[in-house]
Structure 1
């Protein structure tokens, strides 16, 4: 009933756990972007179909899958290798698809952020929603910042409320910090050059509201510190012990990197403008 696409690059640490949770699907695809470890072997060991394409962005990679992979099923679920489908998520996914009317062409999904085997419910502002399930030929993705959101949608989107698991820190903090240093550059450009209108902050759909909130809150003086205080104290992140403190601190640092990179981009643009005068 549901085909699955997993984006990979050097995911030997996480991929087996993800694939183990997908044995219920009769059509699992791994779209790899240049792995040099055991990722491909693991995928083949689990009888997943492997395709390859150079990574440009999350949105473009997912759209490449939609355009070039021959899916068996009408509905497609997109995952990353560090994500795991639970029994409850699978049941909610299938029941939601079976109950969907003809106008429904996709679903937003949410996740449980896991750190040191603890669900960071408060620190991570659960639930956060991402467009991850769609009907073949009825929708596609577009890039925003380092991630993606829904692009063209020929119908309406609903919600799958049962979460899957997200092990974002499974490769260790060194890898997480290196990755988010790159992500912060992409976020800085997106928030500066593609700032959504202020009215989107009040939109009922989080996929529209959250990009606007990110782009406008970063302009508030001292926002990285406020981000920490909001998550750790106001949202009760302190109840999640040391993992909660570590997560809130690093997310505040991530926002700090975005803010100083936006400042740098603004300075470069002003210098270019002055040279053209």
Structure 2
């Protein structure tokens, strides 16, 4: 029995990942949309072979791509599950979702789901990475995004939220170490630009250490901005690897926590420093010369 739920997945060259996620969905949801950024592999053919609706649209940022999808797709249901192509639904989560809809209309505007993330084949369980709750299930008429989020995207809802009990798995089959490094250098440039734009007023969650997942994230983001460049990545790695027991994730954990908490964040800080120095030079050049 299928439930009145629409799944939307963004793709670009996801032929290795897509069959797994579609297999985990086809048995219980009645509508799947693939929003593809003109893949050059077999992504579109695979999506169509599973009966998914495919729409292609040029990619700018994840947030803009999601805004396009939510505003332009002809979605049959009022409930949407927004996934990445490297995410799959566990059997336990399938049962939980089916029970949620079969017992009546869900009472909240959005639901957070725990992400179980794998890196180089290992589940990263420590360093603050599990459980990490992501807002993935939401009412179509309640959701919105912040277009100013350049590096990543987050869903926000008007109304109450709740947490589901079971996990979704994130395991990117494209992701060799060289792939991860190249991707995060691109991400660093976007994150640096986002952090520099201090004047932008976020129309998203309030900053609250004791609030929901997104409110805590905004609070921690404000705290992060107060720390000095180049020092904060080192402190962050120490906190994640030692205080939050990241060392228990073994060799893969050492690689992941160092790269994600220290290496990546250091590159972001270097790019911020570079752009701020460039702005100072431009101001000096444009200043009127005194006679």
Instruction: Decide: shared fold, TM above 0.5.
Output: yes
Q: Confirm or deny: 8 A CA contact 1:129 1:207 kept in the other structure.
A: no
Q: Confirm or deny: 8 A CA contact 2:33 2:53 kept in the other structure.
A: yes
Q: Confirm or deny: 8 A CA contact 1:196 1:212 kept in the other structure.
A: no
Does structure 1 residue 21 correspond to structure 2 residue 24?
Answer: yes
Partner secondary structure for residue 149 of structure 1: coil
Q: Confirm or deny: 8 A CA contact 1:110 1:128 kept in the other structure.
A: yes
| TM-score after normalising by structure 1 | 0.89
Distance 1:230 1:170, change over 3 A: farther
Alpha-carbon offset, residue 147 of structure 1: 0.9
Q: Deviations over 1:224-266 (max 9, x none)?
A: 2222221211111111111111111111111111111111121
Q: Confirm or deny: 8 A CA contact 2:127 2:240 kept in the other structure.
A: yes
Question: Which of 112, 116, 131 is the aligned partner of 2:116?
Answer: 112
| TM-score after normalising by structure 2 | 0.85
Distance 1:82 1:67, change over 3 A: same
Q: Deviations over 1:63-105 (max 9, x none)?
A: 2111121223221101111111111222333444566878622
Distance 2:281 2:104 in 1: 53
Partner secondary structure for residue 136 of structure 2: strand
Question: Which of 75, 81, 84 is the aligned partner of 2:85?
Answer: 81
Distance 1:100 1:203 in 2: 30
Tell me what 1:207 maps to: 214
Q: Deviations over 1:11-44 (max 9, x none)?
A: 1111111111112212111110110111011111
Question: Which of 42, 62, 66 is the aligned partner of 1:62?
Answer: 66
Q: RMSD over aligned Cα, in angstroms?
A: 2.4
Distance 2:81 2:152 in 1: 16
Does structure 1 residue 149 correspond to structure 2 residue 154?
Answer: yes
Q: Which moved more, 1:209-218 or 1:13-22?
A: 209-218
Where does structure 2 lack aligned partners over 5 or more consecutive residues? Answer: none
Tell me what 2:46 maps to: 42
Structure with max Cα Rg: 2
Q: Which moved more, 1:211-220 or 1:43-52?
A: 211-220
Matches within 5 A, 1:224-263: 224-251=233-260, 252-263=262-273
Does structure 1 residue 135 correspond to structure 2 residue 139?
Answer: yes
Partner secondary structure for residue 129 of structure 1: strand
Question: Which of 260, 263, 267 is the aligned partner of 2:277?
Answer: 267
Tell me what 1:6 maps to: 9
Alpha-carbon offset, residue 108 of structure 1: 2.5
Q: Deviations over 1:153-197 (max 9, x none)?
A: 332222224220111464211111111111111111212214779
Count of aligned pairs between the two proteins:
275
Partner secondary structure for residue 171 of structure 1: coil
Where does structure 1 lack aligned partners over 5 or more consecutive residues? Answer: none
